Amino acid sequence: MTDLKTGIVVNLLAGYYDVQLGAQVVRTRARGVFRKRGQKPRVGDRVEVQLDEHGTNYLVGVKPRTNLIGRPAVANVSSILLVISAVEPDYTRAFLDRYLVYFAWQGVPVTIYLSKSELTSADRLAEIKDDLQYYHSIGYPCFTSRDTLKQALPDLIKPQAVWTLAGQSGAGKSTLLNYLQSQAQQETAPISMSLNRGRHTTRQVSLFALGAGFLADTPGFSALDLTPIKVKELANYFVEFAAARPNCKFRGCQHLSEPGCAVKQALQAGDIAQWRYDDYLTLRQEITEQGGPEYLKK
Ligand SMILES: Nc1nc2c(ncn2[C@@H]2O[C@H](COP(=O)(O)OP(=O)(O)OP(=O)(O)O)[C@@H](O)[C@H]2O)c(=O)[nH]1
Ligand SMILES: [Mg+2]
Ligand SMILES: [Zn+2]
């Protein structure tokens, strides 16, 4: 009997699992018992590895997960690093709010990074930065300089934490990862190419060591299905609404046209941004309509 070691799955490839054990990465195979139980280890899973007498490493156990997010999935996501580009694809508030609602629903904190800021006009950049100031003020740290992010991020990543890149195809997730972690050599491609091919340049999930934990590259979770969210709970995931909500007159206030609504008051006072409220209404409608938006039905 050899001893068990605990590590984290950093890569999946055709039946093999690469596991970070201390400073080294070992290639392991899963015991058949997993398949029988219908259990599939994922990148980010904390696992037990056993070296058998023939020198083969076996993955013999998966520890309980805190979450499992996206497709392909990442397990135990502790924070999201959301990459939003100023252009190509163009910055939109609606898109940003979709992501923020989704991850708030999943209970995972988000840090925002604006890419390609040098490709837009000074006026447009100022508008986007005003928005980011707002997001920052409601609790989402925002970075617009990759140098500043590179300085700050390693200290933000707690031991063993799994930070995960999210954002649209072509936003610049892999480009950012390659900059933050020089050992990562992830493929990147101009947006026109990735869109023409109708798929992401990055197609797998992989973890890269960063700070005391990891940063995962992903295809970005761009087809987010919000329809499983209960419509009555949606306002909870607009974090600044949730803060005003205890002051609404009615419990369970949906902030539509109820009297004594503190969210509507904050909106009128300019403390809640109008676009956030409009996006709340749009997402409410999407959730109540069957099936969600067209692009999820493909
Ligand atoms: N000028 C400029 N180009 C950038 C920046 N970030 C990314 N790019 C370019 O944008 C294109 C797409 O970048 P990727 O890093 O491949 O995008 P991605 O988010 O990983 O895309 P997927 O893997 O398809 O999800 C590449 O041509 C990059 O060189 C940036 O900050 N400035
Ligand atoms: Mg990529
Ligand atoms: Zn209300």
Which ligand is nearest to the Cα of residue 178, counting in written order?
1
Euclidean distance between the first and the last CA atom of the chain, given in angstroms as a whole number: 50
Nearest to 238 by CA among 135, 142, 111, 144: 135
Q: In whole numbers, what is the pLDDT of the chain averaged over residues?
A: 91
- Measured from the Cα of 187, ligand 1's closest atom is 16
| Torsion from C-alpha of 222, 129, 80, 211, nearest 10 degrees | 140
* Range in 55-59, 126-130, 211-215, 290-294 the model is least confident about: 290-294
What pLDDT digit, counting tens, does each position of 66-85 carry? 999 988 899 999 999 999 99
Whether the CB-CB separation of 87 and 59 falls below 8 Å is answered with: no
Q: Is 188 close to ligand 1, i.e. is its CB under 6 Å away?
A: yes
DSSP annotation string for 219-282? S---S---TTS-GGGGGGGSHHHHHHGGGSSSTT--SSS-TT-HHHHHHHTTSS-HHHHHHHHH
CA 47 / ligand 2 centre spacing (Å)? 26
Instruction: Name the closest ligand to CA 258.
Output: 3
Q: Is the distance from the beta carbon of residue 28 to the nearest atom of ligand 1 less than 6 Å?
A: no
Query: What is the model's pTM?
Result: 0.93
The answer on pLDDT for 95 being more than 70 is yes
Residues belonging to the chain: 298
Q: What are the chain's domains?
A: 4-62 (2.40.50.140), 68-217 (3.40.50.300), 231-293 (1.10.40.50)
Ligand lying nearest the CA atom of residue 221:
1
Pocket of ligand 1, candidates 74, 188, 197: which has the most ligand atoms within 8 Å of its Cβ, to mutate?
A: 188
Q: Is the CB of 291 under 6 A from ligand 1?
A: no
